[in-house]
Amino acid sequence: MTRTSLSAVACSIARATDLFGDAWTALIMRDILVGIRRFDELVEDLGLSRKILAARLARLVDEGVLTREQYQASPPREEYAATEKGRELYPVLLALMAWGDKWYTEPAGPPARIRHDICGHVATPVVACDACQEPLTVADTTQLPGPGGRVGPGTQLLGPLIAARGEGA
């Protein structure tokens, strides 16, 4: 099945999910950011086909999210590392993890926890305002138009709605 590209939609969420919107890509990034970097280790951990893994890794390298480095010459073997662009996906994964922990955790508890190494505490990730540090929720935020906003495929109704909110700002 061919997927429709969202790269031309005037929405940062659409553009990000165009790359990052399948479960395998999220799980590949989870593993790499935690320290599983070799192809065979990724296959073993994730249990996905080598063909799918190779395709996802190639796309992540092409997009500048990962780098590929040879660690063995004969036979040639490579490992992957997150670039700055890739490391900046970590808060996205933490937000998804926090949501999953809240809504899908089994009675035994969440499958993993996050320790904030700077203070030593086990942390619950939150998305917060960079100015006041208060958590951001749908109840206390408003999307306003940005300089790249436009009406088009994927924003036929959303574009005018957000633009109208900007008129009073």
How crowded is residue 60: how many other Cβ atoms within 10 Å of its Cβ? 25
Tell whether the model's pLDDT for residue 19 goes beyond 90.
no
pTM, whole model, 2 decimals? 0.85
For residue range 69-101, list pLDDT tens digits in order.
999 999 999 999 999 999 999 999 999 999 999
Tell me the per-residue pLDDT of 29-58, one tens digit each, with 9 for 90 and over: 999 999 999 999 999 999 999 999 999 999
Count each helix (H run) and each strand (E run) in the chain, helices first.
7, 4
- The Cα 116–Cα 120 span in angstroms is 5
pLDDT value at residue 1? 54
58 close to 50: Cβ distance less than 8 angstroms: no
Q: Where are the beta strands (DSSP E) in 47-163?
A: 66-72, 77-82, 114-115, 122-123
Angle between helices 50-62 and 39-46 (to 10 degrees): 120
What whole-number distance in Å separates Cα of residue 119 and Cα of residue 96? Answer: 22
Residue written as tokens 């999220």?
A: 26
Percent of the chain with pLDDT over 70: 96
Calpha distance 40→27 (Å, rounded): 15
Q: Are 137 and 146 in contact (CB under 8 A)?
A: no
**Is a pLDDT exceeding 70 seen at residue 169?**
no
Q: 2: pLDDT confidence band, cut at 50, 70 and 90?
A: low
